[in-house]
Structure 1
Amino acid sequence: MAIRDLIPWKSQGQDIAPRQEERVDHPVMSLHRDINRLFDDMFRGFSMPSLPSIGRSLGWPRVELSENDKEIRVTAELPGMDEKDIEISLDDHQLVIRGEKKSETSDEERGYSERSYGRFERRIGLPSQIDEDKVEATFKNGVLTVTVPRTAEATEKRKAIPIKAR
């Protein structure tokens, strides 16, 4: 028996019909089918996390950047947090957003308590021509918005580069 005979090939969720020599109830093939059935039954009904959701949890909080000639706007989604839990600073041409989320639940009748803590820090690189004295931050409904104005000098130095077709 070849190794490729042990790989369960499926098409559209249906098993492909076994070859003539596999129709004989070989003990290894029988064991293989039983183990596959066991794993299929065990994981049926569980939604396994997909790769994009794992990536989102690694990059928490979710941040969106937008800019125009006058300013750079940074928007961060921070659901369930208060403004007192968030710290914003400028550090060597980087906007630093730090926070800590704490949650505690207890039920005396059932005799349990649950605590969860999570810290985050996001650093966003900024250009050198920003007006650090006029940076503003607002927080509403779990959304933090930081507006970083550009200097007049930065607006004048901006140059559009034409694209040539070949």
Structure 2
Amino acid sequence: MATGKWNPLQELQLMQEQMNRLFDLSRQRSLGEPAESSSWHPAVDIYEDEAEVVVKMEVPEIDQKDIDVTLEEGTLVISGCRELERKEKQQNYHRIERSYGSFRRSFSLPATIDQERISARCDKGVLKVVLPKKSSDHPRQIEVEVK
């Protein structure tokens, strides 16, 4: 089990995001019809080590060309769209529980991120955005000369 400093504001933000997903989901589920025009929020994991911050987002059945990863004034913005596939013959769905439509997630970046070296790739339905940290931002000891 990982231990870390408890941050009540972070937990409140996580709870707010979960509540937003539940409310969005309840609006989409009227009589089993998907609300394709409503937005949804793909699940995200964010973790870091000494060298980088990594954002992983679940984006199953979304073509890589339909995902936009941009940097806007120090904010990482990931957006895209998952369309409900419809064939000429109307399929007889009994239940539609997965979310469809557009999504947009944004995350403020710390000043320690090297914005020129950010990379993103999609593999097996998971988008991975790697945010390398600046090497010069590591604290260094400065000796004080005695005269």
Q: Same fold (TM over 0.5)?
A: yes
Partner of 2:22: 54
- C-alpha distance 150-53 of structure 1, shift in aligned 2 (>3 A): closer
2:136 alignment partner, SS class: helix
TM-aligned CA deviation for residue 66 of structure 1? 0.3
Partner of 2:133: 150
Distance of 2:73 and 2:114 partners within structure 1: 13
- Aligned ranges 1:17-166 → 2 under 5 Å: 54=22, 57=25, 60-108=41-89, 112=90, 118-156=101-139
TM-aligned CA deviation for residue 53 of structure 1? 7.4
Alignment RMSD = 2.8
TM-score (norm 2): 0.60
- 2:133 alignment partner AA: R
Distance of 1:53 and 1:88 partners within structure 2: 21
TM-score (norm 1): 0.54
- 2:122 alignment partner AA: F
Instruction: Point out where structure 1 has 5 or more consecutive residues left out of the alignment.
Output: 1-50, 158-166
| Greater relative CO, 1 or 2 (CA 8 Å, sep 6+) | 2
Partner of 2:6: none
% same residue: 31
Does the CA-based 8 Å contact 1:70-1:155 persist in structure 2? no
Instruction: Give the structure with the higher percent strand.
Output: 1
1:129 alignment partner, SS class: coil
Does the CA-based 8 Å contact 1:65-1:72 persist in structure 2? yes
Distance of 1:104 and 1:133 partners within structure 2: 37
Aligned length: 103
1:153 alignment partner, SS class: helix
Distance of 1:85 and 1:142 partners within structure 2: 13
